[in-house]
A and B are shown apart, each in its own frame.
Chain A
Amino acid sequence: MAKRSIGLQGRENIYLDRPIWASAHEEPEGAVLSDVVAQAVDRPNTRKVTDLLMAVEEARGGPAWPSPMDFLRERASVIRRETLEDLPGYVSQLADAARSNGMIVHFASTPGEARQVITDIAKERGVELVVKSKSMVTEEIGLTKHLESMGIESVETDLGEYIVQLADERPSHVMVPAIHRSREDIARVFSQLSGGSVRSDIPELVAFARQRLRADFARADMGISGVNFAAADRGTLVIVTNEGNGRMVTSRPRVHVAVMTMEKVIPRFSDLAVLLPLLFYAASRQRLTAYQTFINGPRRPGEQEGPEEVHLVILDNGRSDISKGSYKEVLACIRCGACQSACPVYRRVGGGQAYLSTYGGPIGAVLTPLLKERPGPSELSFLSTLCGACEEVCPVKIPLTSLLIGLRADYEASKGPYSASGLAWKAWGELWSRSYGYSLSTTAVRLVAPLMEKARQLGFPLPGAAGRWVQGRSLPRFTTRAQAKHGSTAPFDSAPPVLGNFTSDTQDDSSVSREEHIDES
C-alpha cells in the first residue's frame, strides 16, 4: 500500500462548489471566455474579492516608486533585458554551474517532456508521496494531475495552494491563490475534509493546515519547488517563501526537484541585491519575506541534513522563440503579481480564474497566447481596458499595454488578412509606438482611451468573445487609471491588508507583512 498524504486525507468528502471552468482537473472544454467572464462577475463572492483587491491597491499607495526603489527598478530593468539578450547563453552557463555544484540538470522543451522527466525521477526512486511548494510552472505543465494519474500523491503545502487543491480549483492570484475564498468558505472545506468542525477563525485555520501538512513534510520522499531566480555564475537557485514551506520541501525529503522556466535565470548572484528587494517591494511592500533559501546542490559529505539528490528541470515551452521576437520583454517578468491587483478588469472578475489560464491578469493575458502549448485561450489580450495601471506598477517596466495591443492585432490577423478590427489594432499599435513610445504609454492611454471609447460606441469591432462580454456589463471598458482607482471601500475593520504571498516562480508561499513602506524607513 503506497504512502498516502495526511494533508489530503478525506478530500473525497469535500463538496466541490466551484464552476467546472475553475477546476484544476477538468478541461474547460467548450468554455467560451466571454461567457466565463460574465459568470465570474456574477459569482457570489466576486464583489468581496474586488473590494479586497481594491483595498490592497489602496494600502499600497499607488504605483509609487520612491527612492531607492526607483533606482532598483532601473537597475533591474537593465539586468532583465541584459539576460534576454542572450537567454540561451545564460541558461547553458547556469546548467554547467549547477552540474558542477552536484545538481542533475534536465531540459524540457514541452510541458509533456517536463512531466515525463519528473515522473521518471519519481518512479526510478520509488517515490510515493510528494510535497510541493508553490510554483506556477508546475501548474503550466499540469504536474499534480499527472503525478496522481501515476498513483503518486502530491500535496500543495502553501496554505493558499492547499486550499485550492482541496477545492479542486486553479489558483486565482499569483501571491494569494485562494483570494476568492472567505474564511467561512475555507472553514467549510476544512470541516468537510476532517469530518469535524473547524471554526472560521484565521489562526485556527492556519493551525489546522500546519498540523496536517507537517505529517506530510516528515514522510514525503520527494519535494518539488519552483525557482524565483537562478544565478548563472554560481549555479545557485533562490526560493523565497513567507510560510517556510519552501524550506521544508527543499530540505526534508530525500529528493528535491526544482522546476523553472528558462527566463528565471539571472546573470550573476550579485544581481540578487537588486532583484530580491525589488520583488518584495513590488509584491507586498515587504522589505524581505520571512525566508530566502539559496540552494547550491545536494547534501555534502559531513552534512546531516538536506536531500541526497537535487534535480533542476528547465522548461522552454516556446520561450526561446519568444526571446527572439518582438514580445521578448514579457520574459523579463519576475512574477510579483503587482500587475494583477492593479488591473481593474482582474479585480472586477474576482481574480485569475476567469482567465481560464494558468496565468491570470495582465501578465497572463500577454504570456498565455505566446506560449507554445498554451495553458489558456488566445483571445486573452482583450481582457484589458488598456488603462496602463499594470505597467506603472511593474518593477521591471514591461510595456504590457503595447504588448497587449500587438497581441490583439495578431489575434485579428489570425482571423484573416483583411479583418477590419485587425487592421485597426495594427494601425493603432503603430501610431502608438511611433508617436509616444512605451515609456510614455500610460500618458498615451489617457489620451487615447476616450477615443477608443468613442470608437467602441461607434461600433468599433471588438472580436466576438470580448465583444459579447462587454455588452451589457458594467465593467470599465477603456478606463483611465483615474477612473479605475475609483471604487469600493475596504471590507476591513482592522488594519488594511498588504498583499504578499510568494510563489516560487513566482515566489513561494504566502504572506502579508506588517505594513511596511520601505521609503519610510
Chain B
Amino acid sequence: MSPDSFPQDQDELVAMFIRELEAAGGHGFICDNQEDLIDRVLELCGNRSVLLEEDPSTEPIRFRLLEAGVSAPSDMWDAEVGVAKVDFAVAATGTLVLMAGANRLLGASLLPYMFIALVDRSCLLADFDGLIRTLDMRLADFDTESAKPSAIHLITGPSRTGDVEMQLTMGVHGPPEVYALLYE
C-alpha cells in the first residue's frame, strides 16, 4: 500500500479512522471542542467508577467527573470505565497506540469493561506502515535506554476470541467496549 493512495486531508483521515474502528467492533465520535469532549466522556461514564489517567490535559475531565459525583475505584481492577490519551492512531486500521511513560495509566485501556480513548486529531497517521516507521524512529531516538518506554500497545477494537467453535465473541480479558473520541 503506497502512502499516497491515502487521503492527505485530515477530515478524510478522521472519517477513515472511524469507519475502520467501527468495522473492528469499536465506536468513534468527533468532538467539536473541549467542552463537547468532556460532555461525551461524562455521558459514556454515567455513574460508573472511572480509572482516569493523571495528566494536566485530563484535569478538566477529572474535575467534571468529581463534580458529577463519579468516583475513582480504590482498586483499579474494580474500575468499570478507563479513560486515557493515545499517542497515535492509525486511520487505515482503526488502531489506537499507547506508550508507557510517567503519568501514563495503561491499565485504563485494559482492565475496565469500557475503554474511552482520547484522540488528538493531530496524532492520526495514515497507515500501519507509517506507524511502524514512526515508532522505529522514536525508538532509535531515545538517547538513553532507560528513557525508552517499557511497552507500546497497539489496540484495534474490543478484546475478542474465536476459541469456542471458532465463533467470534467479544470481550475476553480486555474491554468488550472501545470508544475513541477525536478532538482538536
Contact = CB atoms under 8 A, between A and B. Distances in A.
B150 A306 contact: yes
A288 B163 contact: no
A510 B100 contact: no
Given A243-B172, A244-B172, A305-B106, A101 B148 contact: yes
B169 A290 contact: no
B147 A300 contact: yes
Interface string A207-235: 00110011001100000000000000010
Interface in B132-149: 132-133, 135-136, 139-140, 145-149
A277 interface: yes
B93 A513 contact: no
B129, B132, B150, B152 pick with most chain A CB within 10 angstroms = B150
Contacts of A43: none
B48 interface: no
Interface residues of A, number: 80
A49 B77 CA distance: 37
B164 A202 contact: yes
B168 A288 contact: no
B164 to A, nearest CB: 5
B160 A511 contact: yes
B166 A512 contact: yes
Contact of A179 (B104, B153, B155, B166): B166
A178 B167 CA distance: 12
Interface string A25-64: 0000000000000000000000000001000100000000
Interface in A267-324: 268-270, 272-273, 276-277, 284, 287-306, 310
A202 B172 contact: no
A206 interface: yes
B163 A163 contact: yes
* Nearest 5 pairs of A and B residues by beta carbon: A244-B174, A512-B162, A302-B102, A497-B166, A160-B163
B163 A514 contact: no
Nearest to B152: A294
B172 A102 contact: no
A210 B172 contact: yes
B173 A56 contact: no
A102 B148 CA distance: 10
A247 interface: yes
Given A302-B102, A499-B162, A295 B1 contact: no
B135 A294 contact: yes
B155 A290 contact: yes
